[in-house]
Amino acid sequence: MNFRGKVAVITGSATGIGAACARAFARLGGKVVVNYTKSEAEAKATHRQCAELSEAVLVQGDVVSDADCQKIAKAALDTWGRIDILVNNAGTTKFNAHANLDGLTAEDFHSIYGVNLVGAYQMIKACAPALKAAGKSSIVNISSIAGVFGIGSSVAYTASKGAMNTMTLSLARALAPEIRVNAVCPGFVGTRWFSARFGQELFKKAVAQQEATTPLKHAGTAEDVADVVLFFASEMSRNVTGETLLVDAGAHLEITPLSPAR
Taking only the tens place, the pLDDT of each residue in 111-124 is 999 999 999 999 99
Of 36, 113, 121, 157, the active-site residue reads 157
Percent of the chain with pLDDT over 70: 97
Element (H, E) at 198: helix 192-198
Model confidence pLDDT, tens digit, residues 54-66: 999 999 999 999 9
Task: Compute the distance between CA of residue 134 and CA of residue 50 in angstroms, rounded to an integer.
Answer: 23
Model confidence pLDDT, tens digit, residues 158-193: 999 999 999 999 999 999 999 999 999 999 998 877
* CA-closest candidate to residue 187, choices 152, 229, 162: 152
Q: Collect all residues with Cβ–Cβ distance below 8 Å to 137 and sequence separation of at least 6.
A: 83, 84, 85, 86, 131, 178, 179, 180
Task: Evaluate if residue 261 carries a pLDDT over 50.
Answer: no
- CATH fold label, 7-249: Rossmann fold (3.40.50)
Task: Compute the distance between CA of residue 188 and CA of residue 213 in angstroms, rounded to an integer.
Answer: 12
Q: Collect all residues with Cβ–Cβ distance below 8 Å to 25 and sequence separation of at least 6.
A: 3, 6, 8, 10, 32, 50, 54, 85, 230, 233
Residue 85: what pLDDT? 98
Task: Compute the distance between CA of residue 99 and CA of residue 97 in angstroms, rounded to an integer.
Answer: 5
The helix-helix angle for 155-175 and 120-134 (nearest 10°) equals: 20
Is 82 exposed, middle or buried (CB count within 10 Å of its CB: 0-12, 13-18, 19+)? middle
157 is catalytic: yes
**Type of residue at 46:** T
Residue 259: what pLDDT? 47
Residue 177: what pLDDT? 98
Task: Compute the distance between CA of residue 255 and CA of residue 232 in angstroms, rounded to an integer.
Answer: 25
Domain ranges of the chain: 7-249
Q: Look at the alpha carbons of 187, 192, 193, 199 in this order and tell me if their dihedral is positive or negative.
A: positive
**Type of residue at 186:** P
Q: Collect all residues with Cβ–Cβ distance below 8 Å to 258 and sequence separation of at least 6.
A: none
At residue 52, the 3 state secondary structure works out as helix
